[in-house]
Chains A and B, each alone.
Chain A
Amino acid sequence: MIRRLGKRFMLHLDPPLLAGLGLLTLASLIVLYSASDQSWLQVGKQFLNILVAFGALWLVANMPLHYLLRSAVPMYVLGMALLVAVALFGEISHGARRWLNIGVATIQPSELMKIAVPLMMAWYFEKHEATLKLRNYFVAALLLLLPVALIARQPDLGTAVLIGASGFYVLFLAGLSWRVMGVLFAGALASAPFAWKYLLHDYQKHRILMLLDPTQDALGKGYHTIQGMIAVGSGGFLGKGYLNGTQTHLDFLPERTTDFIFAVYSEEFGLLGNLLLLALYLFVIARGFIITANASTYFTRLMAGSITLTFFTYAFVNMGMVSGILPVVGVPLPLISYGGTSMLTLALGFGMLMSIYTHKKLVKT
């Protein structure tokens, strides 16, 4: 009886992927304990975040695929409406207008768009699968650029870049021709000076400049990068040992439970720890690729591919930013950084991956 219940519970979950996610979230709790200066309270909250996220994952995984397909348009429309609302009435915090007060809580609509945008685009391609023309790619690109522009204007460059990437992956996997991509790339390069002058905020420019030479402003804008690099570099091969990171515990690392948690991990566990973490991420990503490759429909293939590649992008951008090869754009380390929203968004994505994998199997049998 219990075995049957357990089997039912596990029916739409993918054990390898689940194991990977479990290990990563376990790592999150361990690192957070150190990063938060051994605050059980914060670890407990993160544990709750993880529980909620896994609950959502289970729900989504058990959802039949057509539910997902059907939710694409309403979700996208709702997300766009909220983004416009944020632009008009959003609350300003730290110089950026990202939050919307809906009475009971403040929400960050850009977070919703991380799922809604690729979903919408995949839905659009699925709809026009039989008669795909260049025009369709153009429309899909528009579906992507509108929210990305709104989010970039908030300004939230990190999220804009990530959503832009997730949408681009959909376009890429949907077969956008190389020639168009070449033209787009050239266009992007050509418009870069324009973007630099008119689109980027001063602080964003600073962060990019600081990447080129962080020592220029060691106590100002370059501080994050320098302290992150010091933490990682001083970790060495084996690390300083759990709870022994001086950069971490003497307060030199900024945002060390969220965006810079990788520096904490890297300082205490060293290169060996980094290899282990990369291996874990690679395992999850590999599993995502397998699911993608075996997905049965156009929509699910695009969606699974985008989710997998976006997950990797999160990890890469965060680790690249902490180790000083990418500008500091405020992207959390997926599944490790403290925070419920990003954890939930990621879980929804993985829930979809599992749903795609398990429902396909059910269809086959």
Chain B
Amino acid sequence: MKRHVELKNHQREIYYFRMRLALGVGFVLAMLVILLGRFVYLQVVRHEYFSTMAENNRISVVPIVPNRGLILDRNGVVLAHNYSGYTLEITPSKVGDLEATINAIAQVVDIQPKDRKRFKKLLDESHDFESIPIRNRLSDEEVARFAAQRYRFPGVEIKARLFREYPLREDTSHLIGYIGRINDDDIQQLEDDDQLANYRGSDYIGKSGIEQSYEKQLHGTTGFEQVEVDAGGRGVRVLSRTPPVSGNSLQLTLDAKLQQIAVQAFGDYRGALVAIDPNNGEVLAFVSKPGFDPNLFIDGIDSDSWDALNNSPDVPLLNRILHGQYPPGSTIKPFIALAGLHYGTRSPSYAINDPGYFMLPGSSHQYRDWKKGGHGRVDMFRAIQQSCDTYFYGLANDMGIDNMHDFLAQFGFGKKTGIDMEGELSGLLPSEAWKQKRYNQKWYAGDTVSAGIGQGYDLVTPLQLAFATATLANDGVAYRPHLVREIEGVDGHGGQLVQPEAIDLHLKPEDVALVKRAMIAVTQPGGTAVSASAGAPYLIAGKTGTAQVVTIKQGEKYDASQLSERNRDHAWFIAFAPADKPKLALAVLVENGGHGGSTAAPIARKVFDYYLLGKVPKPLPPQQGTGEAEHD
């Protein structure tokens, strides 16, 4: 009996067990279907997505920064070039204690306090994951020393890089400008210009001068390398390579030697000189003194040097040629004379008797001539030659400010010359409408009288005055001033010459001839700038001018010796030579130089002598500057 029950139980148990086992099999099959479904989903449905993810994992695009184009003068003298060197860079995010790391590095390579300050400044401006240079231009020995101890400094790397250098330093600082590290503003600008992709990997961008204005041409096109990387981000192999296209080199219109002679001619004076070839608008000299060493700015200037430059009373960072606005003073007179002839306000023979002052009808206010007692009988020729204020007071008053404005505007006063450098100021050429708009005030007759001798509201930049002088020298045919002569392809071919079109002002030749003759007389005995042409084998046509820094009260006398140096008048001299067939036109400003004939004209003479005769005044300064302290 018992045996029977057991047997029965046994069979039932096997039955139950097999039921359970069948459930197990069902479970296995169900799970397998889930797995299979998952595989199909991953490998078929979403295959493309994951393939892309795998590719993105695998492939990293590494930019190859192009070499920046060179900047040369018209004769091939190098004004900006690149040289390869080493920098020591720290990636802050990979370094724990920055201070300690820098101290440790300082025991291996020389780190100046200046380097630390610059590093700190860059650190504030940058993002943690970027590498920031702590030292530039490492010597071979320093590179070797650091390389041997590299294991001690995770996150610190030596990088081989191209450095920018400006061999003429302060002599060309305002012309060439400088490049600097790309900051957030630059990034914003690049984004707006849709150029950001082309700057991947680039650390530098033109910040001022030619470097800024021709950034597009100089930078070049960034190349790319597709690199297969492993999970650690290390490159395993290069899959494809698009080589970078180097930036174009620029050949400037500048004559570097002329530039240096001009700089030298200023001596210790501050000021500006712009020399233009009147036949085509090429700028041959572009001097703003004092300059600064642009090399300091490339990797971020240290705060001491920055403070020294920024707080100097000499404002070395001011580009006086484009941003300095001064009253033109008497240099405006030849142009006003032309206007008088043009409008028929004066005939060449019309003469006045100069008592030494001018009075408006019905007024007792005396507009004084610079010469006490006056010039006697003065026609237009003598008025220019001797810079007679009284003559021009009357002329301006008779012509009216709006006529004056319209005529002078043709010469480029009151508006930008259109030179190929960013940031040019437009000076100020007043008119009735302007005064109403600007000051909500009526124009007074007295305003016109002052404008007749280039005082009052009138403001010009040295560039504007040089441009107007060049236009006059070229008999009223204007060429937009420009600094770049040729944009060269990488291999020196495919150059693109810059040739602005001529704009003819249609002046009457006899008017121009009279004014030119008078300007020649300025540099001859009896003129205001005799020293300019003494002994010169060519004729110089010029005009002196002074721009007041402080206003002299009615009845007082200007006495240079009584005024502190910085309150003395600025001296102007505009000139072109040879006067009969001008090859060079220029404007010279000497700040606090007093009288144009004595300080500005001799500078012009040296420039002409070199340009026309090849005459070198003194032994030339060495081509390369001697040290960073030079600009102090």
| A interface, CB within 8 angstroms of B | 130, 169, 172-173, 175, 227, 229-237, 246-247, 250-252, 266, 270-271, 274-275, 278, 282, 285, 289, 292-293, 298, 301, 305, 308-309, 312, 316, 319-320, 323-325
Contact = CB atoms under 8 A, between A and B. Distances in A.
Given A274-B43, A305-B24, A323-B35, A250 B228 contact: yes
Contact of A282 (B27, B32, B42): B32
Interface in B27-44: 27-28, 31-32, 34-36, 38-40, 42-44
- Which 7 residue pairs across A and B have the least CB separation, nearest first? A233-B50, A234-B54, A251-B231, A233-B42, A250-B230, A271-B43, A251-B230
B238 interface: no
A227 B50 CA distance: 10
Contacts of A252: 57-58, 230-231
Chain A residues touching B, majority SS: helix
B49 interface: yes
Given A233-B50, A278-B32, A172 B42 contact: no
B35 A319 contact: yes
Contact of B25 (A227, A275, A278, A289): A289
B231 A231 contact: no
Contacts of B31: 312, 316
Chain B residues touching A, majority SS: helix
B16 interface: yes
Contact of A173 (B24, B43, B47, B50): B24
A340 to B, nearest CB: 27
Interface in B498-532: none
Contacts of A319: 35
Contact of B17 (A173, A227, A274, A312): A173
B50 A229 contact: yes
Contacts of A237: 43-44, 47
8 contacts: A172-B20, A233-B46, A234-B47, A250-B230, A251-B232, A309-B24, A312-B28, A316-B35
A72 B57 CA distance: 50
A173 B21 contact: yes
Given A232-B39, A232-B50, A234-B50, A175 B20 contact: yes
A69 to B, nearest CB: 18
B24 A172 contact: yes
B13 interface: yes
A231 B38 contact: no
Contacts of B24: 169, 172-173, 289, 305, 308-309
Contact of A233 (B16, B25, B35, B47): B47
A323 to B, nearest CB: 5
Given A274-B39, A312-B28, A319-B35, A230 B54 contact: yes
B32 A325 contact: no
B152 interface: no
B34 A236 contact: no
Given A232-B39, A233-B43, A250 B16 contact: no
A274 B36 CA distance: 8
A348 to B, nearest CB: 21
Contact of B53 (A230, A289, A301): A230
A230 B28 contact: no
Contacts of A271: 39-40, 43-44
A233 to B, nearest CB: 3
Nearest to A304: B21
B535 to A, nearest CB: 80
Contacts, number: 119
A236 B51 contact: yes
B17 A301 contact: yes
A169 to B, nearest CB: 7
Given A175-B16, A229-B42, A270-B43, 9 more contacts: A227-B57, A232-B42, A233-B53, A236-B47, A237-B43, A250-B229, A252-B58, A252-B230, A305-B21
B54 A323 contact: no
A227 B57 CA distance: 9
B236 interface: yes
B127 interface: no
A277 to B, nearest CB: 10
B442 interface: no
Given A232-B50, A233-B49, A323-B39, A250 B28 contact: no
B12 to A, nearest CB: 10
A324 B53 CA distance: 16
B13 A298 contact: yes
Contacts of A278: 32, 35-36
B230 A236 contact: no
Most interface-central of B17, B18, B43, B46 (chain A CB within 10 A) = B43
B28 A285 contact: yes
Nearest to A253: B231
Nearest to B53: A230
B36 to A, nearest CB: 7
Contacts of B232: 251
A323 B20 contact: no
B18 A293 contact: yes
Contacts of A130: 6
A44 to B, nearest CB: 25
Contact of B38 (A293, A308, A325): A325
Contact of B43 (A236, A247, A301): A236
A235 B43 contact: yes
A139 B196 CA distance: 72
A319 B40 CA distance: 13
A230 B13 CA distance: 48
A236 B17 contact: no
Interface in B384-409: none
Contacts of A285: 28
Contacts of A274: 36, 39, 43
